[in-house]
Amino acid sequence: MIYENIRRIFIYLIADDFSELFLFFVALFCGWPLPLLPMQILWINVIEDSFPNIALTTEYDSTNLMNEPPRNPKAPIITKTYKMFMLLVFCVSGLSAVLIFWLINTYCSDVALARTATFTLIAFDSIAFVFTIRNLRRYTLRKDMFSNRFVNASVVFSLVLLLVGLYVPFFAHYLGTVPLGWDTWTIIVCITIIEMGIFEYAKKRFFITKSTKSAVDVRNVPHGTQA
């Protein structure tokens, strides 16, 4: 389980951070203003992501893990399948951030609002993604989805910190954020739901189906032939 926890934490951090790099690359290429301010980036990476990241170290879910074939000790911690999943998360999250910044900056002509919406979407994505990454071999929506109280507490705390950064004047001033209305929140939540749906489908294709097949293969091995 320690090996699995290290891997999920690595994926959580890298996939999330690279989506921000994608956003800045597109903004630079298109000649847009900065999509995020330095303080907003620090708030996401240091404040928002730290608590879910720490909570993931307490994850213990061995479901289907014992049915997996033995791991090659020489194999890298991030295999080709995990790299493909990370690339998908990186592209989907990055494109979503690009989309919301472009939409609001273009049609509302309000850079501060566009930055705030982008900041909120990325933070909200990372909070929701923690449930996706908890176990890649199982669907996210299940009976024990909220079984890890440390993850639950970290999610609630991160949501509170996000709202503090948006609606408490002192923090909003230093972060350069503006209050968001229900219409913007609706867009953010809808985009996040679509993203999580894509990630769930990717989990099924990359991990869940393969894990189920491995479990069937293990059960079909004649007794006395298993290592």
DSSP per residue over the chain, as a string? -HHHHHHHHHHHHHHHHHHHHHHHHHHHHHTPPPSS-HHHHHIIIIIITHHHHHHGGG----TTTTTSPPPPTTS-SS-HHHHHHHHHHHHHHHHHHHHHHHHHHHHT--HHHHHHHHHHHHHHHHHHHHHHHT-TTS-SSSTTTT--HHHHHHHHHHHHHHHHHHHSHHHHHHHT-----HHHHHHHHHHHHHHHHHHHHHHIIIIIHHHHHHHHHHHHSPTT---
Q: What is the CATH number of the domain that holds 208?
A: 1.20.1110.10
Per residue in 183-202, pLDDT (tens digit) is 999 999 999 999 999 999 99
Residue 68 within any structural domain of the chain: no
Per residue in 39-88, pLDDT (tens digit) is 999 999 888 888 888 888 888 765 555 555 666 666 677 888 889 999 99
Residue 69 within any structural domain of the chain: no
Residue 71 within any structural domain of the chain: no
Residue 87 within any structural domain of the chain: yes
Burial class of residue 148 in the structure, from the number of CB atoms within 10 Å of its CB (0-12 exposed, 13-18 middle, 19+ buried): buried
Instruction: Indicate the number of domains in the chain.
Output: 1
Domain that holds residue 18: 2-59+77-214
Per residue in 91-140, pLDDT (tens digit) is 999 999 999 999 999 999 999 999 999 999 999 999 999 999 888 888 88
Residue 226 within any structural domain of the chain: no
Residue 128 within any structural domain of the chain: yes
Residue 151 within any structural domain of the chain: yes
